[in-house]
Amino acid sequence: MNTPNIVLTRVDNRLVHGQVGVVWTSSIGANLLLVANDDAAKSELQQELMAATAETSGVGIRFWSLEKTISTISKASPRQKIFLIIKTPQDALTLAKGGVPIKKLNVGNMHHSGNKVSLTKKVYVDQADIAAFKELVKLGVDVYIQDVPDEKKILIEDVI
């Protein structure tokens, strides 16, 4: 079993879009986008749209369920520089508890819905999100909010 070369994990409820697929991918030197999301793993339409963005950046893209990510990511080649993209902090926690070695968690976009409150202008959370972030920090994950690479990081502990 290899330790996969995960260069960054990002929570973004939009998953792969221009900012993720172009700006972040080039900034971190990733050559593979791994979308770990149960819905996207089953949706051809979502996959087509996200694959077009990856193609623009000249990187590979995979769409795996959370379970497949947990069971398969350790088989990744060391030359794969993986940008792991997930939709929620709960997904990050599921992956981390499942043995996926997430060292850094970049929180990008979490849209407002229901009873979520604002941490920043692009990150809205509820109690379940906060609990997941706190548990990830306890597991030793460096969790921070950063919309784009040239913005200053905001440590999650400073805002929850």
The one catalytic residue in 17, 68, 116, 134 is 17
Q: How far apart are CA 16 and CA 63, in angstroms?
A: 11
User: Which DSSP state fits 110?
Assistant: B
**In the chain, count of helices (H) and strands (E)?**
7, 9
> E strands, 13-135, where?
32-36, 60-64, 82-86, 104-109, 117-120, 123-125
**Residues 138, 95, 33, CA angle at the centre, nearest 5°?**
120
Four-CA torsion 10, 15, 20, 26, nearest 10 degrees: 70
Q: Quickly count: other Cβ atoms within 10 Å of residue 89's Cβ.
A: 24
Determine whether 17 is an active site residue.
yes
Q: Which residues are catalytic?
A: 17
